[in-house]
Structure 1
Amino acid sequence: MKFGRIGLAMLVATAFSVNIGSAAEKDPLAPRVPADQMAAAKAWKNPMKATPDNIAKGKEIFNGKGTCFTCHGNEGRGDGPAGAALDPTPRNFHNPKLKGKTDGEFAWVIKNGSPGTGMISYVPGVISEEEMALVILFERSLHDQP
């Protein structure tokens, strides 16, 4: 099923309990991948290289077709308009604690969603595997930015 940007943002915002004002990002170090799938997730290697061009492509997908910005904000700070209604709040990709997560863990969440959060599955319904890999490069580029 395909959704437009606004439709997807509305779906995400209404599919989970609204608790504006008291939401907080979940512990970035807590596992999102089920234990029985963690080894496979960690083994996944991003096929795209972290070049400035690929990171820019990832940002374009993040802020466009992928609709990630609706929850995570244009700069990946977890402050998007639909994210304000989610408890816990969306990931802030500027959080340096996320460096401890592998690209495979990021990919698993994008493919499968994250139970207990507003993160739904985006691959293959919204973006392709290659586009997911580019988005991960963009998200990774934010870990060292304040």
Structure 2
Amino acid sequence: MNRLLWICVLILLGFTASYETRDVEAQPEGKQGRDLYRIHCLECHGAEGRGDGPRAALLAPRPGNLVSAATSTKTDEELLEILANGVPRTAMHGWSDQLSEEQRRNVLAYVRTLVHFHDLSSPPSPGP
């Protein structure tokens, strides 16, 4: 029985790991969006989009948290406008002169995959 349990656990772990990368890698634009994000956005916004990249501490105001509720509730059009034209009086400059509209859409699609919603209606798991 223990052996069967371990096999099931290993299968589930493998499925979970492949599922997490499949979302981005399944579509060519997802991979392109991830790659563009790493090149142009990660330094300020961080690997998980929390506004904690290596340059973040040097910037005032700090970079936006792309996975916050405030950002997550913005429409794609609002976020594409920010990507294209930037945010006044911040280090976030517009990317319309460096990235095509398709590339900006791919970056946005990738940023949307960084947001992970949690079901707050279910009680937390009891600790050990």
Secondary structure in 1 matching 2:88: coil
Equivalence for 2:96: 123
Deviation at 1:91, TM superposition (A): 1.4
Per the normalisation by structure 2, the TM-score is 0.64
Q: 1 or 2, which has the higher helix percentage?
A: 2
Alignment map for 1:46-125 (pairs within 5 Å) = 52-53=26-27, 54-64=29-39, 67-124=40-97
Cα deviation per residue 1:97-140 (whole Å; 9 max; x = unaligned)? 3222011111111111101221001112x211111000000111
Q: Letter of the aligned partner of 1:143 in structure 2?
A: V
- For structure 2, list consecutive stretches of 5 or more residues without a partner in the other structure: 1-23, 119-128
Task: Report the number of matched residues.
Answer: 94
| 1:143 aligned to which of 112, 115, 118 | 115
CA distance in 1, matches of 2:117, 2:37: 17
Secondary structure in 2 matching 1:90: coil
Per the normalisation by structure 1, the TM-score is 0.57
% identical equivalent positions:
34
What is the CA RMSD across the aligned residues, in angstroms?
2.1
Bigger-Rg structure (1/2): 2
Bigger RCO (CA 8 Å, 6+ sep): 1
- For structure 1, list consecutive stretches of 5 or more residues without a partner in the other structure: 1-49
Q: Letter of the aligned partner of 2:69 in structure 1?
A: P
Deviation at 1:55, TM superposition (A): 2.7
